[in-house]
Every structure is written in C-alpha cells, then in structure tokens.
Structure 1
Amino acid sequence: MNWEVHAVKYADRNARTRADSFLFADNHDAPHAMDYFIWVLRRGAEVIVVDTGYDDAEARSRNRPIRRDPVAALAPLGITPDDVTTLIITHLHYDHAGGLHLFPNATIHLQAAEMAFATGPCMCHDTLRDPFTADHVCEAVKRVYSGRCIFHDGDGSVADGVTVHCIGGHSRGLQAVRVRTDAGWMCLASDAAHYYENVFAQKAFPIVVDLQNMLDGFARLKTLASTPQLIIPGHDPLVTQVFAQGAAPFIWRLDQGVDAAKWAEKFD
C-alpha cells in the first residue's frame, strides 16, 4: 500500500524579490513570493508528519506572520499533534522545526550532522545562527535525552516506503524525504530546493553553508524521484498551482501527481 502525501500551507511571504531566492539573480529586483508548508504522509491509520512549521510566538519574534497555527493547519486532515508519533525534521531552521513543542509524543528523525551543526562551533557566527532559534534546538536535544530521537547518517529508513537522504548545502544536515506513492517515488526536497527553478535551472539559494553540496544536491534530487514532476520544492507557490486541492483551501494532494495541463502551462 502506497502513501498519501499532503502539502499543508501555513504561511507565505510576498514582500520578497528574486535576489532573496537566487544567488546572482537575473532581474534581481522582480517580486518573488515564498510559501511555507508542512507535509503529511498517510497510509491507512499510519501518519508521518514532515516538519512542523512555526507558531505565533516565533512569528511575532521574527516579524514573519503566519496565516494559521500548525495545529489548526492539520485539523482538516483529522490530525491532532498529540496523536503524531513519527516526525521527520528535514533540518532545524525555525520554519521547519519551530513547532516541535506542539508534538509532545513524537519521536523525531534527524540527521546527526544537523544536530552537530546546530549545537557546534558554527553557531558562534551570527550569519549561520540566524535561521535557527535556540529554544527549537533545545527541544530537539530534549528529545534525545528522552529517547525520542532517531539519528540518521546519510541515507536512512523511517518506514516501509519512506526514506531520508542527507543533501546538505542549505544547512549541514538538511535531508530530503523519499516517499512511495501511486504516482511513483516522490521526493519532498524541503530546502534542498526551495523552488522548482533552483533544481531545474541549477540556481543556488542565497542561504547556504556549502555551495557545492547544494549544487550537487540538485542532481541527487532527480535520482530520488521517479520523474521531475515528483520533486516537491520546499517553498514554491507553484506547488499550489500544479497539484489538486485537498481537504481544505490551504491543503494540496500530491500523491496523485500533477495536473498535466497545468504543468505544461508552467514548465513546457
């Protein structure tokens, strides 16, 4: 039995330009919006949540408002955070791990390299530390001490048909998630490709720890998905335009593949 995959949008930022999205951007001052997602994998009674988003407190702290709290965002899928026992954290940046405390019963899956990065000497640099929030990292450390953190070193298995793969680049231990669906093997790239344009046009995102890893990662994503249409970027508003709407106006069903006509309109 294959997995359902749902993209749940909880925030967006429209006051951005292409310079915020691409190194050496052409037309750098043109508007370039960003969407924020949580992903839900479901197979019968099994549920795996990928990333947590961030809450109202973090939104106020960073002056980056959210449209809905992650708890409310999951409600249309019939999911309460207390019921989630498996949580994949692609990396520990605030917008991907800022809701860890909302999932008190979850065992988290994390790359060992990400924990080492987020708690090591690199965090002495303001620029590298900026996408992290200390409380979120401390919550991940607490999961280790409570026996509810499973570390992966490179490639790892989370469940039948769900694997994780360390890409790095944007953050030292950034991992993508590979999921077996009816449409084929899907790759939730998270921030290994913020946008389709990153991976399809080999354009690097400006927040980067290792540029070579980021660029090599674009090719790796293509090997993890059955087709390019099944690579799901972490923040691209185009996801909401080429996939069918799901259980609510802010949820999209990914596992049945793209709408071919809409895909052709955007990419062919």
Structure 2
Amino acid sequence: MTTKWQVYAVKYAERNTRTRKDSFIFDDHPAAQHGMDYFVWLLTDGTRNILVDTGYDEAEGQRRARPILRDPAQALAALDVNPLLIDTVIVTHLHYDHAGGLDRYPNAKFHLQEVEMGFATGPCMCDPTLQMPYTADHVCEMVRHVFAGRVVFYKGDGEVAPGVTVHRIGGHSRGLQAVRVETENGPLCLASDAAHYYENFQQRKPFPIVVDMEDMVQGFDKIQALAGGSASRVIPGHDPLVTDRFDEFGESGYLWRLDRLKA
C-alpha cells in the first residue's frame, strides 16, 4: 500500500512592497500592490518527516532587505519536529529563499536536480541577472555537502520515499523541481516556484524571473497533471491565498494543513 502523507505549509516571511508587475509578465494592472508569502513545507506519515526547502535566515533577510518573521527551522517545533532529526530535505531549487538554511539540518541528505547544481555553479552565474536569485554562500554550502556525500541527485523524475516523488519542471530556474505527494485525499503537488501564485498556472501568466519560458509554460500543465488534474491540489510557492484556502493548524498563526481543503 502506498504511504499517505500529511502536508503542512510553514510561513516564515512575507513581503508586501511588491506590485503585480513583479509577479506577472503580462498584466492589466501592473502597478497594483501584490503581496508575497514565503514558505517551507513539511511532509509526515506519522513516523518519518521530510522537509521541502529550507527558506532563508535572518542574515540573508537583512542583506536583501526582506526580513523574516521566524526562523523556519525553529518554526518546526510547533509540529513537534526537531530539525536535528530530519534526515531528508528536498531542495526544489537553489534560489536564496529556498536553500538558505541548509546548516540547520546537519543529519539530512539533500535531494536536488543534477542540472540545478550545474546551473548554479556554471558560467550562467557570471551574468548578474541570472545570478541575482542565488547566494554564493548557499551554493558553496551545497557543494560542500556534495563532497560529504550528502546530496542525492536526480535527472528528471525520481522517488524520494514511498508516495513522494520529484519532477523536474525548469523554467524559473534550470533545475527547478516540483514534489508530488500521495495523501488520503489524492495526489498533492507542491509546485514551489513552478507557480508562485495560482494566477501563474491557472491564467497562464508567466513569472518575470525565468530562465526558459517554454519550460515554464509547459510546467503549468505538468504541475496540474501531477495533482491528478485538480487545480485545488496544486500548492503555489508564494501565494498568500494558500493561507485562506486551507485550515490553519493549531494556534501558531504560521502553519496550515494542505492535504485537505478548508472545512
């Protein structure tokens, strides 16, 4: 029998100084305010915990003038999860806001697309536009984990655990991957930045930070297919609407249960 997972979103930061032109290449109201939330995600089957992305820390937030609300690793305590005991971390891509806290998980192996590692350490990083979403210290830390035998690489699709698979999407970054999770209510797709917002994939409006536009727009179809064809089971990477569409877990104010729609 396939393992059924519970899925939680952990919000660690927000940024409300953005406009719609920061989120959509084509938009009728580009100057309108458009907020962004920052999440990491936890999968649990009651015994094993898998973290998806690590967020960024306070120092990185200060450097980019994007302060965090809480340390993502410390926020896991509200789910009774000790970061020291996490042995599996899926890194959807190496942008600063998804791979900026690798040191918080000293006993974990990191699951990453091979092409993302090559992109983040190759000649494209000589270009300031392509380099902008990456932080050299984060990438160098992942390189050290490679040398320590702590990185599991994938070429496209792969199984991380029973009921948890990764799928290369590309587009936003060369090796961006989404995560498909089996739950009691059907497959769930953690899209990460294959769709920052529901609007990106539902209205086919590309996000402005893009390496390959063809991969990005094809990815809009792929993430919905990974969710069994249901848009309601696609979880965008940064949409504040996630906190409206799903039930808050407990009284922390920063956790949401994603494997079942709001009652």
- Separation in structure 2 between the aligned mates of residue 108 and residue 29 of structure 1, nearest angstrom: 39
2:240 aligns to what? 237
CA deviation after TM superposition for structure 1 residue 125, in Å: 0.1
- Counterparts of 1:233 and 1:199, CA distance in 2: 9
Q: Tell me which of 247, 250, 254 is aligned to 2:254.
A: 250
User: Aligned partner of 1:3: which letter?
Assistant: W
* Greater mean deviation of Cα atoms: 140-149 or 233-242: 140-149
Deviations along 1:50-78, one digit per CA (max 9) or x if unpaired, are: 00010011011111101001122111011
Distance 2:253 2:64 in 1: 26
89, 92, 101: which one aligns with 1:90: 92
Q: Any stretches of 5+ residues in structure 1 without a counterpart?
A: 261-268
CA distance in 2, matches of 1:106, 1:68: 21
Equivalent-residue separation in structure 2 for 1:82 and 1:193 (angstroms): 30
TM-superposed CA distance for 1:39, in Å, is 0.1
Q: What is the aligned partner in structure 1 of residue 204 from structure 2?
A: 202
Instruction: Give aligned-pair identity as a percent.
Output: 60
CA displacement, residues 209-248 of structure 1 (integer Å, 9 cap, x when unaligned): 0011000100111110022100000000000001001132
State the one-letter code of the partner of 2:222: R
From 139, 143, 146, the counterpart of 1:144? 146
- Aligned match of 1:170 in 159, 164, 172? 172
Q: How does 1:13-24 map to 2 (within 5 A)?
A: 13-24=15-26
1:191 Cα deviation (Å)? 0.1
Alignment correspondent of 1:70: 72
Q: Which runs of 5+ in 2 are unaligned?
A: none
SS in 1 for 2:97: helix
What secondary structure does 1:96 align onto?
Answer: coil
Structure 2 counterparts to residues 108-119 of structure 1, below 5 A = 108-119=110-121
Q: Does 1:132 align with 2:131?
A: no
Pairwise CA RMSD of aligned residues?
0.8
Amino acid at match of 2:121: T
Give runs of ≥4 in structure 1 deviating > 2 Å: none
- Report the Cα offset of residue 143 of structure 1: 1.1
Corresponding letter in the other structure for 2:227: A
Looking at structure 2, the residues matched to 72 and 102 of structure 1 have their Cα atoms a distance apart, in angstroms, of 9
- Give the TM-score normalised by the residue count of structure 1: 0.95
Deviations 1:124-158 (A, max 9, x none): 00000010001100111111111110000000100
Give distance in 2, aligned partners of 1:18 and 1:5: 29
More helix by share: 1
Q: How many positions carry a matched residue from both structures?
A: 259
What is aligned with 1:263? none
Give the Cα–Cα distance (whole angstroms) in 2 for the partners of residues 109 and 5 of structure 1: 18
